[in-house]
Structure 1
Amino acid sequence: MPKTLKNVIKFVCFFGIGVLLIWLFTRNIKADEWEQIKVALRKANYWLLIPTMTIGIASHWFRAVRWKLLMKPLGHQPSTLNTFFAVMVGYLANLAVPRLGEVTRCGILAQYEKVPADKLVGTMIAERAVDLVCLILLMVITVITQLDLLGSLVNETIFQPVSDKIAHANGIQLLIGIVVLALFIVLLGWLLRRFARSKVAITVKNLIRGIAEGFLSIGKMEGKKKVWFFIHSVLIWSCYLSQVYIGFFCLQETNHLGISAALAVLMIGSVGMIVMPGGIGAYQPLVQKTLEIYSIPSAIGFAFGWIIWVAQTLLVIFLGFVSLVALPVYNKKKREVSLAQD
């Protein structure tokens, strides 16, 4: 099956799932609640979306700089603009096909900055691992500081689904899966040793080595670089939090909410962004459920979820397409300047 067709099928499937989730969630909304949603959306102060989207741009820029820091120990220092463009095109690709963005942004930087793609994959894995740790820390802090409010919601949306999957999992199936994985690793190792001089084996070894080097690049950073990596990680998540907090002021019904509520929305909403590409169909109901804990009517919570989600998504689409156009133009001028200097 052609790769393009596979990507189209993936997009249609995940988009369909998102639409289905939206329909399942909205089908029980009553007429008076729809009216509340419409009124809230009409009265919303959309001018406040300008600072939230500006902060969103800053978060993407900080992510690009942080990714660039991971490449320095590997002997590569791409331009910050190319790194930023690659990040934004990757986000745009993720809206179409899940996980395509990671491959896309690595491919773009490999093309324009000549950084080995395998090492880029490793740095990307390291970056995702750090983000996962940040999200877990955020969850722990948020739940501990608001245990009385959020305990049941976190259990319902995160821990219970995981425990249900584990409980319903067949022990024999899990054992078989572990054995198959172990056999695959042993077989791969044997094949690489048996055909060590073959072109395929050399390619696979180089790929594994490159990914490992990229993943371990955090440990290879100089002291100051590690500090800046930590600072940029904090800045990224601070931007995410600020977007939610400022977004509260868009609606009269949510403008009294504070940082604690913003932390909770960011924590639970991030789960929705992870489980569905771009959070479509999952982000809004999770945000609504979270805001209900803070005595926000479900219709208002639903409206707020849509406002924040649409703003973030439109920003990614706009910056993604701008980056696609800017990449060849910027790099052409960059080459011309380099040739002029030579």
Structure 2
Amino acid sequence: MFIGLLGFWLRAWRWKNLIATNETITVKTIPIFWSLMFGNLVNLIFPRAGEVARCGAVRKTYPIKFGKIFGTVVLERTIDMLFMLFIIALAFLLEGSIFIEIFKNLVSLDAIKGFIVEYFYWALLFFLMLLLMGVFAYQKFKKTAWLGKLRQFARQFVSGLETLIHMENKVGFWVATFSIWIIYFLMMYWMALSIPATHTLSATSVLMVLVMGSIGMIAPVQGGIGTFHAMVAFILLYYGVSEEQGKIFAMLVHTSQIMIVLILGGISFLYLFRKKKVTLNV
């Protein structure tokens, strides 16, 4: 559980580096950590709402524009997605035969081709209609106050994305990002070694399990509950682990993370409720 806590702390420290970029106030890791844990707690109730909730939690502590904070969240998630694609590519190189077998069992190329042919033109037409409606709406409402606020939010959002370019500790940011994924792998690997049904799994096999579990966590459900377990149990079948044992393994891995979120998320609520907002020195 300690290494899982370290992973959350690294996430908070990494996010703090983005938020603090170009700010005149000092942004500390501890309030950002509690904001992150609060967002994770909200995600257990309302999928993906935690990403907005943690932005609001940061705003409760620091007078930073919401659009910028949200931009850093999108940037952070995009980087995590790119790293996950890298992990998938690495797993494919190391466990290519399993990848190909899964692909053959789950994916029908003919079905994909038929779907693209049938719906491509409809999708293109829908996109063009949205584009035309957007242009029309802009021309009609470009002088209204709410559109001005939308443009202001967009500028703040872009400034959040640009923090990756302007932040000071770029090396630390990328080391933290890489370390987070190392921690995910070690948590799963050590858990596999501690269970008789999975203790014979190789490191590359656990990497495949990590890939499938990560894909399960992407699903828009509360904390990946159900989808994570199903994906992990599914891939473990290919390594000779029964479905029942696979689900037990997934439950142990997932529960250890959920317990951290529930405990620290609850504490974060109390922390943020009592925390006073930092004021700008003029």
Q: TM-score, normalised by structure 1?
A: 0.74
Q: Does 1:102 align with 2:51?
A: yes
Aligned match of 1:314 in 251, 259, 265? 259
1:330-341 matches, within 5 Å, as: 331-332=275-276
- Separation in 1 of the partners of 2:136 and 2:253? 48
User: 2:145 is matched by which residue type in structure 1?
Assistant: K
- CA-CA distance at 1:216 after TM superposition: 1.9
Structure 2: gaps spanning 5 or more residues = none
Is residue 2:205 matched to residue 1:205?
no
Q: Is the 8 A contact 2:38 2:50 kept in 1?
A: yes
Equivalent-residue separation in structure 1 for 2:107 and 2:162 (angstroms): 29
Alignment of 1:81-230 (within 5 A): 81-153=30-102, 163=112, 166-167=115-116, 170-191=119-140, 194-195=142-143, 198-222=144-168, 225-230=169-174
1:224-257 deviations in Å (ceiling 9; x for gaps)? x111111110011111111101111231121122
Is the Cα contact below 8 Å between 1:85 and 1:323 reproduced in 2?
yes
Select the residue among 180, 185, 188 that pairs with 1:241. 185
Q: Which amino acid aligns with 2:32?
A: T
Matched-pair contact (CA < 8 Å) for 1:268–1:286 = yes
Counterpart Cα distance in 2 of 1:163 and 1:277: 29
Q: Report Cα offsets for 1:63-103 as digits up to 9, x if no partner.
A: 11111111232315422111000100101101101111011
CA contact (8 A) 1:248 1:254 kept: yes
Query: 1:258: how far off?
Result: 2.6
The answer to whether the 8 A contact 2:216-2:224 is kept is: yes
Structure 1, unpaired ranges of 5+: 1-52
In structure 2, relative to structure 1, the CA distance for the partners of 1:180 and 1:219 (3 Å cut) is: farther
2:9 is matched by which residue type in structure 1?
W
1:10 maps to what in 2? none
Which of 208, 227, 246 does residue 264 from structure 1 map onto? 208
Aligned equivalents of 1:188, 1:138: Cα separation in 2: 42
Match of 2:166, SS state, is coil
1:139 deviates by: 0.2
The Cα shift of 1:291 comes to 1.2
Amino acid at match of 1:257: L
Secondary structure of the structure 2 residue equivalent to 1:251: coil
Give the equivalent residue in structure 2 for 1:250. 194
- 8 Å Cα contact 1:56-1:239 kept in structure 2: yes
Deviation string 1:281-340 (CA, Å, 9 cap, x unpaired) is 1111211111122222222112111111222212211111111112344x35x97xx9xx
Report the CA distance between 1:260 and its aligned residue. Answer: 0.9
- The count of aligned residue pairs is 276
Shift in alpha-carbon separation, 1:98–1:220, aligned structure 2, 3 A? same
Q: Is the 8 A contact 1:89 1:104 kept in 2?
A: yes
Instruction: Give the conservation status (yes or no) of the 8 Å contact 1:74–1:214.
Output: no
Residue deviations 1:171-210, cap 9 Å, x none? 3320222113322442354356x40xx4323211110100
Query: What is the TM-score normalised by the length of structure 2?
Result: 0.89
Cα shift at 1:157: 5.8
In 1, Cα distance between equivalents of 2:123 and 2:4 = 41
